[in-house]
Amino acid sequence: EVDLMKKKGDIVARAHDLKMEAERLKLGSRAVLVVAEVLLSDPNTMISDISTYRSVFIQFTRTGEQAQKAQAYVLGAMSIIVDKNSSSNLMDKACHILKSLYDCDIVEEEVILSWFAKNGAKRFVSKPVAAKLAEVCSPMLKWLAEAEEESSEEEEESEKAPSVPAARAASVEISPNTTKSPEVIIESGSDSVEDDDDDIDIDAI
């Protein structure tokens, strides 16, 4: 049915219907594996097809309790398609394919890093192919890992930040009071001195 929808050109418009049909057939998160293999079957247009069929993939990978499992299956489909099209040198484009899946919000950073860390590709392709895929995609994986680390550091800093401004705010509130207080005392003291001087002058007269 996915192939038929693709040929008719109405699969994007019927993305939700496709998801409902997959649920009716109780295909679970694995359904997106079939969808991806059909929609991304052309090695010459695979990267652009990811963007074209983004709304279809998101129905499976960004909604429901099994969303992250579905994302892992999309990565599995990527490895299968890359392996099948070795004659087209699709492996050389694997990093760009992965980036496109990430940029289109089809697969999340957390899932990508976890999937490659666990060598998830070996479930779908041979170990040598899985190793090659990880090697080719390493620049993207390194970039994601560094971005995640920076994000974690920023979150830690933001969690600590409220206590620092609070302390500063307290010192700012206290500081004006301590600086003003002597001025008030001095002014009141000078007034009393002036009053005393006036009294003395009056008595003298």
State whether residue 86 is helix, strand or coil.
Answer: helix
CA dihedral 76, 80, 81, 82 (to 10 degrees): 100
Q: Kindly indicate the confidence band of residue 5, based on its pLDDT and cuts at 50, 70 and 90.
A: low
Of the two residues 205 and 72, the one the predictor is more confident about is: 72
Q: Kindly indicate the confidence band of residue 53, based on its pLDDT and cuts at 50, 70 and 90.
A: very high
Q: What is the pTM of this model?
A: 0.73
Tell me what pLDDT residue 146 has. 94
Q: Give the pLDDT confidence of 63-113 residue by residue, as tens digits.
A: 989 999 999 999 999 999 999 999 999 999 999 999 999 999 999 999 999
Residue with tokens 């002014």: 187
The amino acid that residue 66 corresponds to is Q
- Measured in whole angstroms, the distance separating CA 128 from the mean position of its chain's CA atoms is 30
The answer to whether 81 touches 34, Cβ cutoff 8 Å, is no
Q: Kindly indicate the confidence band of residue 12, based on its pLDDT and cuts at 50, 70 and 90.
A: confident
Q: Give the pLDDT confidence of 136-190 residue by residue, as tens digits.
A: 999 999 999 999 888 777 777 777 665 545 444 343 343 343 333 334 333 434 4
Tell me what pLDDT residue 173 has. 40
User: Which of the 8 DSSP states describes residue 108?
Assistant: -
Structural domain spans, the chain: 1-147
Specify the CATH class of 1-147 in words: mainly alpha
Cα distance between residue 107 and residue 167, in whole Å: 42
